Every structure is written in structure tokens, then in C-alpha cells.
Amino acid sequence: MLTQVINKEELIKLYDKDFVLWVEENLKLLKDKQFDLVDWEHLLEEIEDMGNRHLDSVVSFMAVILEHLYKWENFREDENVGISWIRSIGNGRIEILRLFDRYPSLKVKSYNEIEYAWKDAKRRLANWFEDPKNLYLAKKYFGRIPTEKDFPEKCPYTIDQILNYKPWLKDLEE
């Protein structure tokens, strides 16, 4: 902590110069009930970002799950392809459920984020086809390297499918 008292303008500048010290100083001011000196604008912004950080994690996991579900259903060449996708889907689901257990309100919020996750998944899919080992698949399925526009505009999966759908078990169930 600073040994000298700083004024509000210095505290605001500290936000960009030394974030950790900015946090410590604001915390001290709050504990001392010196509310008039707190950098409220940045503090409120940081509190909002804290909540969004966990939602961003859910969206990121959903994007990977969507990418791998879509690849499994559309671009799987043989039975030996896609094992790592299954593991990735399972791991992503575990992480999402862990976040839902810890922060129950994220579950409801995640319903509104499916299209954002799908947009990210489409970017990942297009990037996957740019990999030299996948160029033959790009040529086979698209006649060229696809872009995001080559995939469905709307997400083809529901939140229930993102969290539970296991297309690799279809063959076992039939």
C-alpha cells in the first residue's frame, strides 16, 4: 500500500499505471469508509467485468463444443477420426457444469449466448480447414477453403444438445 495519502486524480491515473496497487488503494479506502475518494467509475467497470469473465468462459467452452459437434456430424471421414473431439466435448461440458454449479445464474444467461458461441465456432471451423492436413477436406466438401459464411447462419444446436448430445453413441443405440 502507498505510505502517503493520494488524491482521487492520482488514484484514477493509478488504474492504468499499476492496477494491483489501484485495487489495494481502493480496498483500503472502502474499508476505511472513505467513499468520496474511491475511483467509482473504474471500480464499477471492474465489478461488471468480474461477472462477465465467467460468462465469457462458458461461451468459450460452448464454442469448442459446437465446433466439435459440427465436425463430428459433417466432416468425419472414418471411425478413427474424432476421438479427440469427443474428449474435448466432454471436458468442455464438465467445465460448463462446474461453472453452472458455482454460479447458477450463468445457466440462464448462457441461453442468450448460443449465437455468440456459434459465431466463434464458425471461425474455428473455417480456421480448421486452413490447416494443411485438412485442405483435402476443404476441397472435398466445399471445393475451396471455406469461410464463416459457408456454415449455417443460425446455430444448429440447442443448449440441451450443447450440454448433452452425443452423436457418437447413435450407432451403439441402433
Judge whether 43 lies within some domain: no
Residue 78: the pLDDT is 79
DSSP-based helix, strand, coil % in the chain, nearest 5: 75, 0, 25
| Residues 105, 58 share a domain | yes
| Residues 85, 21 share a domain | no
Judge whether 71 lies within some domain: yes
Q: Averaged over 6-35, what is the pLDDT?
A: 92
pLDDT tens digit sequence for 32-78: 999 999 999 999 999 988 878 999 999 999 999 999 999 999 999 87
Nearest by Cα to 6 from 19, 52, 21, 16:
21
| Residues 61, 144 share a domain | yes
Structurally, how many domains does the chain consist of?
Answer: 2
User: Distance between CA 174 and CA 159 in Å, rounded?
Assistant: 24
Give me the domain span that covers residue 59.
51-173
| Residues 68, 34 share a domain | no
| Residues 135, 62 share a domain | yes
| Residues 69, 32 share a domain | no
| Residues 74, 24 share a domain | no
pLDDT tens digit sequence for 69-120: 999 999 998 787 889 999 999 999 999 999 999 999 999 999 999 999 999 9
Residue 2: the pLDDT is 47
Nearest by Cα to 22 from 49, 33, 32, 37:
37
Please state the φ and ψ torsions of residue 154, each to the nearest 5 degrees. Answer: -95, 145
Judge whether 162 lies within some domain: yes
| Residues 86, 32 share a domain | no
Residue 5: the pLDDT is 56
